[in-house]
Chains A and B, each alone.
Chain A
Amino acid sequence: MSRRRLQGVSVAVLVAVTASLVAVSSARTVGAAIDVKKVIASCKSPDAKAGAAKVATSKYKKSKPWVLGVSAGYMSKTSWIAYFNQELKYEASRNKQYSKVVVLDAGFNASKQISDIQDLITQKVSGIIYWPVNQSALKGVLAKAEAAGIPTVESAIGFTKMGTSSVDIDYYAHSVVADAYLMKELGGKGNIVQVLPTAGSLAAVQEKAALKCVLKHFPNVKLLDAQYGNFNAADSKPVAEAWAQRFPQIDGVVSAWAEQSRGVAQAFDEAGRLDELKFAPANELNGWMKFLVSHPKANAGIVTSPPALGAMAVKQMTKILEGQTVVKGVFIGNRYVPPAKVKSLVDSSKPDTYWPNKMPPSFQP
């Protein structure tokens, strides 16, 4: 065999081997069973370590009865926050150590929230649970609260490491679970789009990062576009209408929040393309679950983000006021419910804005 021919054969063999290796690594997720737990385990939440740190709270121990202050950054964004607030009040009402709950609503006004917290400090409340309009704006006033011996528990906004402690949904972990199960439903291939919540929010930042990590395991999944849905259908619908025009083939929608997902579903239904889509597991809004049950092709299950977070925030505050050592961040939710089990969570007698809960009728929003 001539030297030139030998070189040609060597190159051909090398190319063939390389191509085979590439095909094998692709087949790792395409066609092969997708190990969702492995994907989830590989995308660790950036908040897990910081959340595990211990916080000594003996300096906040107070004699009973306690007065609980609540500084709400907003009360009217979604139905979820209303249920969260009611869960908080319900838990406080059940705990006889609390004589009173003072709730101040800043109505999306960051300056007002600073004034609200200052008012609560002046009123000498025992502890403050808050969810911020703008977390960095509260840094100074939260420091004043702690200097005055008033512990603060942050909730419902994601773990910002501010305040004495935090009880929250881990948005990163929540999204990793949702995205991983969507990939499983898609068989590890296809085109996806992503609906993020409010631009600039912690949730949006973490959801973007979570999807980026999950997609590393699925080279045959292509992210076509990511836009903001602001947690509501009115904003996500026009975005989805544009997608329906731009992209001839979309297989999956990444959206962790049911109200946004509804807007996308409506848009694609009107475009006659709803049957193409699988929706990433969103949270357990009654109306969304009704939709999933009636549209099995779109159903990839749900991932919970229970409003009972409000009750957990009160329990965490109770531990602090008792002087117990607590962790910096308590994370709840993120429980995956497979498609077949979604039906068991639906309450068809309740409105679409209902969130499953165990509160008595007097506390239902």
Chain B
Amino acid sequence: MTASTAVAETARAETALKWRLLALGQRWGIWIVLLALVIAARALSPIFLNTPNLLNILAQASVVGIAAVGVTFVMVTGGMDVSIAGVITLSAFLAAGVMNGQDGNIVLAVVLTVAAGVAVGLVNGLLIAFFRVDSFILTLAMGSVLLGGAQIYTGGTAFGDPAPGYTTALTARPWTIPVLALAFAAVVLVGLALQNVTRFGRRLYMVGANPRAAYLSGIGVRRTIVLAYVCSGVAAALAGLALVGRAGVPSDFTGMGLEFQVLAAVVLGGTTFEGGRGGVGGTVAGVLVLAVAFTLVTILGLPYAVQLLVRGGIIVVAGALYVLVRRREG
């Protein structure tokens, strides 16, 4: 082998390694950021990596995480769903109201709550897909309608009574693992299966990447969009059920601000507003980044004002690191 050939081979190998690393960064970037955050957290607090604390983080992340799985599908299509706070609040009230403190009402409450999530998702999806209403405007308005509906249903107060069996079941820790963490994991697995194994999952990306091309290819664009919003509605309803189980009697504070946490988690996880990219896996990492940030400031016992600063700072740094690690092609 001549010297010039050896140099060319080395350069080719270096380029191949660089592209492999870039591909790794794009695929696993947010997980690398999460790992870095966890290492930093451990350095700051010796108890952070205790098993009970990690399990608490999963339970605390479950409400936002479950809702975020559904919103991921919507955002992959290029849409947005900010009605989730309204769905979560209404679902929590509906579940607690129907249960009314009776274990015998649990099944009915769960069925009705999920049905409500389906109905909201269907209305959102149909209006956006068939009437071309802007998704941000429509879901913002829908969120307001749902909060108003919740106020009418409850008389504007903390309302309902979760069944004792329900809260016992949802706060149980079989094999020390919180049931809510298991529920979160189950929703994630279903989400990953829908995304990676089904035609619906593949269509989400086609519609998000290029709706016109997807339509010309014979893909039911409108049907895909409607189904995405139904998934989001169901996920938000499940999140409301999780919240009632975790915190008990809901109030109007219940869902307040959750839409921003959910959107932040989804975007941090790599699903962009343009659509066509991202996915449930990245969303899970985004959820965990937020949960670690929120928990770390509490574990450190920081004053409240400092907590807000530090939380925001962690999220900014995590987002910036993720961009560095990912390095978009071209």
Q: Which residues of A contact B (CB under 8 A)?
A: 75-79, 81-82, 105, 199, 225, 227-228, 230, 232-235, 237-239, 241-242, 244-246, 259, 262-263, 266, 269-271, 287, 351-353, 365
User: Interface SS of chain B: helix, strand, loop or mixed?
Assistant: loop
Give 8 A-B pairs besides A76-B158, A81-B157 with Cβ atoms closer than 8 angstroms: A76-B252, A78-B157, A105-B156, A227-B301, A244-B52, A270-B171, A353-B160, A353-B161
Complex interface residues of chain B between 136 and 163 (CB less than 8 A to chain A): 151, 154-161
Question: Does any Cβ of A come within 8 Å of B249's Cβ?
Answer: yes
Residues of chain B whose beta carbon lies under 8 Å from any beta carbon of chain A? 47, 50, 52-53, 56, 60, 100-101, 151, 154-161, 171, 173, 178, 243, 246-249, 251-254, 294-295, 298-299, 301, 304-305
Top 6 nearest A-B pairs (CB, nearest first) are A82-B157, A234-B247, A76-B252, A79-B158, A351-B161, A242-B298
B243 / chain A contacts, CB cutoff of 8 Å: 234
Q: CB distance B253 to A77 under 8 Å?
A: yes
9 A-B pairs (CB sep. < 8 Å) = A76-B154, A76-B158, A79-B249, A199-B305, A237-B246, A238-B295, A245-B47, A266-B171, A269-B171
Q: Known contacts A78-B251, A245-B47; is A351 also within 8 Å of B173 by CB?
A: no
Is A245 a contact partner of B52 (Cβ separation < 8 A)? yes
A230–B253 contact, CB under 8 A? yes
Residue from B100, B158, B246 with most neighbouring chain A CB atoms (10 Å) = B158
Nearest residue (CB) in A for B56 is A241
Residue on A nearest B254 in the bound complex, by CB: A234
Is the beta-carbon distance between A234 and B304 smaller than 8 angstroms? no
Residue of B101, B294, B301, B305 most packed against chain A (CB within 10 A): B301
The CA of A262 and the CA of B171, in the complex, are separated in Å by 13
- Do A232 and B157 contact each other (CB < 8 Å), given the known contacts A246-B301, A270-B171? no
- Give the distance in Å from the alpha carbon of A8 to the alpha carbon of B6 in the complex: 86
Min CB–CB distance B66 → chain A (angstroms): 15
Bound complex: CA of A215 vs CA of B178, how far in Å?
Answer: 37
**In the bound complex, CA of A75 to CA of B253 (Å):** 11
Q: How far is the CA of A186 from the CA of B304 in the complex (A)?
A: 28
Q: Distance (Å) between the CB of B263 and the closest chain A CB?
A: 20
Please give, as numbers and ranges, the residues of chain B lying within 8 Å of A228 by CB-CB distance: 304
Main secondary structure of the interface of A (DSSP, over half): helix
Q: Across the interface, do B248 and A266 meet the contact criterion of CB distance under 8 Å? A: yes
Q: B residues within 8 A CB of A77?
A: 251-253
Cβ contact within 8 Å between B157 and A245 = no
Residues in B with CB closer than 8 Å to A241 are 56, 60
Given known contacts A351-B160, A352-B161, A353-B161, is B50 in contact with A199 (CB within 8 Å)?
A: no
Decide if B56 touches A232 in the complex (CB within 8 Å): no
Q: Evaluate contact between A233 and B157: CB separation under 8 angstroms.
A: no
Which residue of chain B is the closest to A228 with respect to CB atoms? B304
| B295 CB, nearest partner CB in chain A, Å | 7
Expressed in whole angstroms, the Cα–Cα distance for A237 and B304 within the complex equals 16
Most buried by B among A230, A244, A246, A262: A246
Chain B residues with CB under 8 Å of A353's CB are 157-161, 249
Contact yes or no, B248 A82, CB < 8 A: no
Complex Cα spacing A39 to B52, Å = 39
Tell me the nearest residue of chain B to A245, going by C-beta. B53
A341 to chain B, nearest CB (A): 24
B161 touches A232 (CB 8 A): no
Chain B residues with CB below 8 A from A238, complex form = 56, 60, 294-295, 298
Q: Cα distance A230–B249 when bound, in Å? A: 15
Return chain A residues, CB-CB under 8 Å to B171.
266, 269-270
- Kindly list chain B residues whose C-beta atoms are within 8 Å of the C-beta of A242: 53, 56, 295, 298-299, 301
